[in-house]
Structures are given as C-alpha cells and as structure tokens.
Homo-oligomer: A and B are copies of this chain.
Amino acid sequence: MRRNRQILLQGRPSGLPTLDHFRLVESPMPQPKEGELLVRNVLLSLDPYMRGMMDEGKSYIPPVPVGGVMRGETVGEVVETRDPRFAAGEIVVGPGHWQEYASFRAARARQLDPAAAPVSTALGVLGMPGKTAYVGLFKIAKPKPGETVVVSAASGAVGAAAGQMAKIHGCRVVGIAGGAAKCRYVTGELGFDACVDHRAPGFAEELARACPDGIDVDFENVGGGVLAAVWPLLNDFARVALCGLIAEYNDTAPRAGPSLGPVLEKRIEVRGFIVIDHEEVTPDFLRETTQWVREGRIRCREHFVDGLERAPEAFLGLFEGRNFGKLIVRVAS
C-alpha cells in the first residue's frame, strides 16, 4: 500500500536550526474530504519566512506544532478531486507542504497553464515571492522614476523580481548580494545598474560609491550589517520597505536596530509588510508580471534540489546564501 513521505518539525531550534530539527517519516496517504483535492506534489518552494514557523509564539503565521508537517507552497498534480471545478491531471499551486502527497481545500488551489509559463514560476516570480516584490515596491516603497533603489539579497527570489520591477519603473537600481558570482549575475543577467558584494572588504564604501546620489528606496531583505551599510546613505524622505531580515532570523535575542536619529532628521519612513495583507493586488500583479516575464523583461533563476529528503539541508542553506536563485525542491518528476 502506498505511503506518504513527509518532513516533520522534530523540535524547536534556538538559533540556527540543524538537520536534527527535522524528521522524515512515512505516513498513511491523505484522504481528501468533500471540497478537497488530493495532490501529488512535484515542486516545493523553500523560503526564508519558514524559519518563523519553527518558533513558538505569536506571529503573523501560526507556528508549526512539534511533530507537525513543515508547511509550504507546492506545485503538484491533482490525483483525486472532490470539487467539481478541478479535474484529475490538472496542475495546481497550493499549500501542499513538505510531503509527497497533500490534501487541501480546493479553494486554496489555483490551476496553472503549463503553456503560459513554466509551472515552477508559480512558486517564484509569478507566485508569492514575485507578489512580495510587487507589493513592497509599488504599494510600500513607491519609488519615482529616476530615484535610486537599493535591493538586498538581489539574486534571491524576491530581490531579483523587485530590482527588475524597479528598473522597468525607471529607477536606478543597485543590488547587494553575497559573492562575486551573484553580483555578476545581478548586473549581467538581471540588468541592475550596479551590485555590491556584502562579503567583500570595504562593502560599505563600495555601496556608497555605487549610490553617488544616496538612496531613496531600500527594499530590505537582509537586515544586520547589510542594512547598517544602507542606513547612512538614505536620503531625505527615503522609504525603507522592510520585507525580510534573513540575517537576523536565527538570533536568540532581539538585535538592536539602526539609530532612529536619521529617521527623524531625514523624515524617513520605515515600514514592515507581509504579502498576505495585500491580496487585492493579485490581479494586477499577475497581469503585469506575466507580461513582463513573457517579454523577457523579468528573468528568474531557479535553484533546484532533487528529493524531498534534501529539503531540510537545502532550507538551512538559505541562511548561508548557498542557493543561487529561487530555491525549489523537486519532490517528484
């Protein structure tokens, strides 16, 4: 009898998680109820926000219980449907989680057309990361054409999309990425105006040189030392769209933030945002971004890892920047 392989949260980490915080188990196959789909997961998205679900306590997403399946979005094939709007064999994106088979409410699934765009993009540039970039740029930061926009984690799923959208919008875009290869990709392939390696000596000075007119918008994905280098370069009326703080997610105590003096003197706006609060943008986002992808104006690099069992290791690599592009696990072929 067929079994379902799953990855469970084995325990709550303090600081950086290790492989011991995850466990691969075989469970009975899920049984879809009325209104649900049974989906065979093909691709699983791994994203930095998942670190937050491993912790206890109140956040914008409830924690995964210890012993529960790690949550995440997947692209998969409908195997069985108990909703008449879906048919077996269709490809959907939905909350399939870290497992081979999932059943979930059909209302939470969206059908994909493999002819329109590679289905993996539903986890990246045309999915949550792309929508995050769109919201952060156009609803939170609102840069004007000609302004200087800095994007950290610039080769990552969100950063790459945000920077390319800012270029389309007519901004001068400076990326920050870890390592020379990523920086070359960000300027060469993604078309940013400049990219600075935050691991190189003299990073802060290089960033200042790359932003001769200061920084009007910071699309912040990293925090920590990266944000500290951005801070003194912010212009009057700068906007910081606080999208992620990956450098700080494994802190065991709250880390002090940058000084508020410049926020007052320069009338800066710092605003945290989460994409799930902005569902109303979805039609505009999908229409515009699909078009930009089709026209080749937005490119996206994907980093595939084969096998569900390698998801924990791949996930941990996010915190060291070991992925190069949107990180996706191929759960099945």
Contacts and interface: CB of A to CB of B under 8 A. Distances in A.
Interface string A129-170: 000000000000000000000000000000000000000000
A264 interface: yes
A277 to B, nearest CB: 6
A257 B255 contact: no
Tell me which of A261, A266, A273 has the highest count of chain B C-beta atoms within 10 A of its own C-beta: A261
A280 interface: no
A274 B270 contact: no
Contacts of A60: 236, 265-267
Contacts of A33: none
A245 B260 contact: yes
Contacts of A268: 271-272
A29 interface: no
B267 A269 contact: no
A265 B59 contact: yes
A62 to B, nearest CB: 13
A266 B60 CA distance: 7
B277 A273 contact: no
A211 interface: no
A243 B277 CA distance: 27
Contacts of A223: 260
Contacts of A333: none
In the A-B complex, list the 9 residue pairs whose CB atoms are closest, starting with the nearest: A256-B256, A254-B259, A257-B257, A264-B272, A263-B272, A270-B270, A257-B260, A269-B271, A267-B272
